[in-house]
Structure 1
Amino acid sequence: MNRVVILGSAGSGKSTLAKQLGGCHHIEVVHMDRLFWKPGWIMSTQAELAAKQKVHLDKPSWIIEGNYSGVWDERLALADTVIMLDLNRYLCLWRILKRWLLNKGKSREDMGPGCSERMSLEFIKYVWNYPTKKRNHVMSSALEQANHAQIVILPSKKAVKKFLRQNACT
C-alpha cells in the first residue's frame, strides 16, 4: 500500500482510518475536505481542487481520504489500494452528531483552516440518504475506475479493526 484512496459516507471513519494507516506505515495523509474548503467555509472550484490534489498525486506515496467525485479520476487511476467504508447510516449519523457536539466552534485538522465545526439539516439528510443516493455511484463508478487496484470493502467497525490488525496497525 503506497497510494491509498479511502471513500465512504460522512461519519464512516475515513479520516480516522487514514490517520491510523498513515501513522503505522509512515505515509502522508491528505484530507480532501482540507483541500476543498477555504477559510470561512468557502468552496474551491473544481480546477482549484484538482490543482491542490495534483501536488499530492505527484508524490510516490499518499493516503487520500474523501470522495469528491469531480476530481477522483486521476486519484483512482494512480491508487494501488481503494478502501470503501460501507458502514450503516445509523452509525454514520451518530458519528457526525457526536463529532459536532465534541468540536462545536473548533476547526478539526482534517478540515480547511478557519472552518469551525458545523451541522445542518441538509448535511444530516445527506448522511441519511448516502446509502440510497450516493453509495451505488461510489461503489460502481469509483471501484470500476480503480479495477487495477486492490479493492477493500469494509462493512462494519469490526471489519475495520480486522483490516488494521492485518496491516500491522494495532
Structure 2
Amino acid sequence: MDRIAIIGCGGSGKSTVARQLAQILDAPLTHLDATYYDEQWNPLSQDEFAAKQEKLVAGERWIIEGNYAGTLPIRLAAADTVIFLDLPAATCLWGIAQRRRRYRGGQHQADGVYDRITWNFVRYILDYRRTMRPRVQDLMREHGPHVRLISLTSRRQANQLVDRLRRQAQPMT
C-alpha cells in the first residue's frame, strides 16, 4: 500500500482515516479540499485541479483523500489501493454534525475541512448511494481494475482496518 486513494461520501470519515493511515504508514497525505480551494475558499478551475493531481500521483508514495469524481480517474490510474468508505447516509450525516461541533462551523485549510453545510450538501449525502456510488463504482471498474479495493460499510470496519494496519506496522519485540 504505497499509493492510496480514499473516497466516499461527505461525512464518511475520509479525512480521519487518511490522517490515521498517513501516520501509521508514514506516507504524505493530501486532502483534496485543501488542494481544490485557494486560501479564500475559491475553487480552482478543473484544468488546474487536474494538473495538481497529476503532480501528486507522480509521487512514489501518497495518500489522497477526497471524492471529486470528475478527477477520480487520475488517482485511480496511479493508485495501488482504493479505500471506499461506503457508509449509510445516516452515518455520514452524523459525521458532518460531529465535524460541525468539532470545528464550530469554521473552515480549516490545513486539514482539508471545508465545513459548509447546505441543503444541497445534505441532499448529496442522502442521495450518494443512489446517484454517486454507481458512478464511482463505474469509474473504479474502468480506470482502476488493477487496484486493491477495500470497501468499508461501517465506522467499525474502518476502525478495524486502521487497527490492523497499526498492528502490522509495529516492530516485533
- 1:13-46 alpha-carbon deviations (Å, 9 max, x no partner): 1111111110011000111111111233311111
Q: TM-score, normalised by structure 2?
A: 0.89
- Aligned counterparts of 1:65 and 1:84: Cα–Cα separation in 2: 10
Q: What residue number does 1:110 align with?
A: 111
Paired residues of 1:143 and 1:151 also in contact (CA < 8 A): no
Point out where structure 1 has 5 or more consecutive residues left out of the alignment.
none
Counterpart of 1:131 (choices 118, 122, 129) is: 129
Secondary structure of 2:63's match? Answer: strand
- Number of aligned residues: 167
- Aligned counterparts of 1:42 and 1:104: Cα–Cα separation in 2: 21
Q: What residue number does 1:81 align with?
A: 81
Runs of 4+ in 1 over 4 A off after TM superposition: none
- 1:80-121 alpha-carbon deviations (Å, 9 max, x no partner): 001100111001001112212332353323337xx6x32211
Counterpart of 2:157 (choices 152, 156, 159) is: 159
Point out where structure 2 has 5 or more consecutive residues left out of the alignment.
169-173
Task: Give me the identity figure in percent.
Answer: 35
Paired residues of 1:24 and 1:169 also in contact (CA < 8 A): no
Classify 1:169/1:55 alpha carbon distance in 2 versus 1 (closer, same or farther; 3 Å). farther
Counting only pairs closer than 5 Å after superposition, residues 60-79 of structure 1 correspond to structure 2 as: 60-79=60-79
Higher helix residue share: 2
- 1:62-87 alpha-carbon deviations (Å, 9 max, x no partner): 00111112222121111000110011
Secondary structure of 2:106's match? Answer: coil
- Aligned counterparts of 2:81 and 2:142: Cα–Cα separation in 1: 13
- Aligned counterparts of 1:136 and 1:39: Cα–Cα separation in 2: 33
Paired residues of 2:72 and 2:139 also in contact (CA < 8 A): no
Letter of the aligned partner of 2:67 in structure 1? N
Q: Aligned Cα RMSD in Å?
A: 1.8
Q: What residue number does 2:18 align with?
A: 18
